Structure 1
Amino acid sequence: MSIRTRVIAAVMVVLVVVLLVLSLSVQSVFATQSERNVDALLSGRAQLARQLARSGVRPQQIVNRVGVDGVLASLQLRDGTVIGSPLPVGGGVQTVTTRLNGPTRVDGAELTLSVNSSLATGALQSLRRILLVGGLVALALSAALVALAVRLALRPLDAMAALAQGIAGGARGRRLSPTRTHTEIGRTAQAFDEMLDELEGAEAQSRTAETDALRAEERVRAFVADAAHELRTPLTGVRAAAETLLEHGGTLDVGDREHLEVLLIAEAQRAGRLVDDLVALARLDTSPALDLAPVEVARLVDDEVVRARLLSPTATITAAGAAPVVSGDLTSLRGALRNLMDNARRAAGPRGTVTVTSAVHGDLAVVHVRDDGPGVPAADRERIFDRLVRLDPARSADSGGIGLGLAIARGIARAHGGDLVCVPVEPTGGGADFCLTLPLRVTTDPAGQPAEPRPSPGRPGTGETADQEA
């Protein structure tokens, strides 16, 4: 069997399986939803009847109120009197019976509600016929299109086979020379030519490409596993709240409904924040292009300190130190420092202390973000920069972060040629100290030669110079 036939057969088998699974899923969802709708209708009418009975409504009025829109109602009083429509018998009839309590003749009466579900059954049969006919038509069209596409796509392989046979027969010097190297087969032909030019080099490149592909696959697997693990909780909350509102929204009181709506919005926002952080990590993995410009570290620190004070008004948050200037992407550096500040605020608590100091060490700008929280054990000072790591399992994603902020901050620092580490603190001080290092901006002297990096003057009113340490 040729590869063309095998490809066409494999694609058609996949299409048949997909269409079959889709059809069964649609039928199952339709049938389940129809049954739920009927159950909800009968339950709602039964609840309405009980409310009317407790309100003292007469039996005939109760039957008239609940026996509408395809629902048949039969009310049997305690004296045996039957009020309402005769109930149908046989298959396709769904009934609900409830006992009423009230101050009038309706007290102790038995109400039976029924709905003929044959309409839903007929609709399901029609849906099956439509899915069957549509699936057959789709398969026929797909078979024709797949056969044509495979024939066109595999045409270059025939040329490659002919060239390989010619080279095997001694016709050296011939090449495929593909004109469209951006396609899969074009890239294959180009790789084939390169192999003929230099076999050993091609083999080395193949081994390197295989190693890179395996590493990339491992990173993708880890990324997907982390994302699925953290997204499961907020998405479960969103689904639970949405299903409750959908199925019982008409029977919930205002307070419960508002609570579910707030929960739905909060969980959706939580999932959105997680997705934003995961996207940021993915971009950092691909060596993103940075919009480099002079950035005043002191001003950046001051802006984030002001923001942190607004978010934690009872905490003590201060900034001090030199005012170096680095060359970096302002938005990225602001995000990194913001993650550090948010992490420090959460660790310090509502009445804790957070101190941010900046200094110059050689050709590096150094920013320390320190809090007086519980601190980081020595064994975890490197592990906390892994993705989705929270040292305190008791913290929720809302109160303790989702474990991505430090990983993002380190990625941003390293993308700028710097680093972010958790350094030891004095035994008596407690808390955690995160050290962010960034290369200073390199200036050029009048002769056009790079000059030694120079920090900006110290901050006014601090009494510190540019070369003081934090």
Structure 2
Amino acid sequence: MTGPLRTVSLRRRVTALSLTVLAAVLLVVGVLTDVVFSAQIRSELRQQLNVRATLAGQLVAQGVPADEVARRVEAPGIRAELVAADGRVYAGDPDDDERWMPPPWRGGPPDRDHRGWWDDDGGDDGDWGNPQVLEQPLADGSRLTLVASGGPVSGAQTLLRRTLIVLSLAALAVAGIVMLLTTRVALAPLDAMTAVARSITGGDRGRRLAPARTDTELGRTAAAFDAMLDELEGAEAAARASEARTRRFVADAAHELRTPIAGVQAVAEAALAPDMAPEDRERLHLLMLRESRRAGRLVDDLLVLARLDAGLELRREPVDLLELARTEAERAQLVAPDQRVEVRGEPVTVTGDASRLAQVLGNLLDNARRHAGPGVVTVTVSGGDRATLLVTDDGPGVAPADRERIFDRLVRLDEARGEDGGAGLGLAIARGIARVHGGDLRCVDPPSDRGAAFELVLPTPRRAA
């Protein structure tokens, strides 16, 4: 059993999920941009320091004094400190007090065994930010230390971060507004489905969504919705038809039962006359017995139909159709001596309920006796993939238009409405029993183009397996 369907607003859910994904994408893009920007700036600073170090080496090779080398190597944002071989320290322009401040690395200059790059991340260096430091030994034994200021870089990076945050927030706000507006348009088919459902509830059962495409999410949903409506309408029509048939069946059954019951009542009242002759009273008793048996047969038939509708239980066992046909033929000869029943064919064994199959064949023979009159009724049994039992007579036959209708309940053709015409349930019961056995009963074209022919088809044991 499934739980209740969550009915959170689809528009809000789609908007929230989309904004979450967009925020994650913007965050990743922002972080990557910051990292790439920082790496690019550091690379450019180191490239500038390499250029200044190369210049210092050229000046030393030309014999330029150490103080002049330190002064000429410095550039805007780059400080230089030159430690001569005799230990004297030169730090750029001696007239610029700010430029003569100690280099901004933490803990003072590195030891003389150190050379190469390092980042001074020790703390706040004022305008120097996070400087890049390069230590380079020169050809005359001196050591040059170059420091590139990270202050402008840190400022630009901070500005970039703030700009990215502001733009991301603005993009999220604009995207949220746009998504709220666009999802309303995108989800319009759902509103159309709701309108169709409400119109159908109001009685307009013929409306359908009829999607132009069924290979999309909404198209598949609309197609499933239409299919569901078709099934519901079909089920409703079938239920209404079944209800109409049931009402008609109950009315017809009541009418059929009323006739014998009224006959019994009339005969019983007539038999109460005190001055009736004994022979007349005996005749009334026989008439009462006949009417009561007629009512009993009708009740039995109605009970069989009820069992068929509820699922008739069968006592399955091997049944020889040829032997069964011979037995029922003998019974029919006793009931109607003026009608000859011939049985032909080969022994064929099926799995089924012998008493129920005998009931089917008995109904067919009784039907032939009532409608064909004196004459010959032929029962032919044949085997193969499916067992077939064909009952033919030489009576008036059944019109092609009525060959299916005669299997409906309480349906009798005009010529069958005589005193002994039956209630019109025999063929319906016979077909129901045949179908419970996995077979069928049909009214087919007679082989001789005369009379009626009923074909009972049953699965053989090999076929049923």
Instruction: Identify the TM-score tier after normalising by the shorter chain.
Output: 0.3 to 0.5
TM (norm. structure 2) is 0.47
TM (norm. structure 1) is 0.47
Structure with higher RCO (Cα < 8 A, 6+ apart)? 1
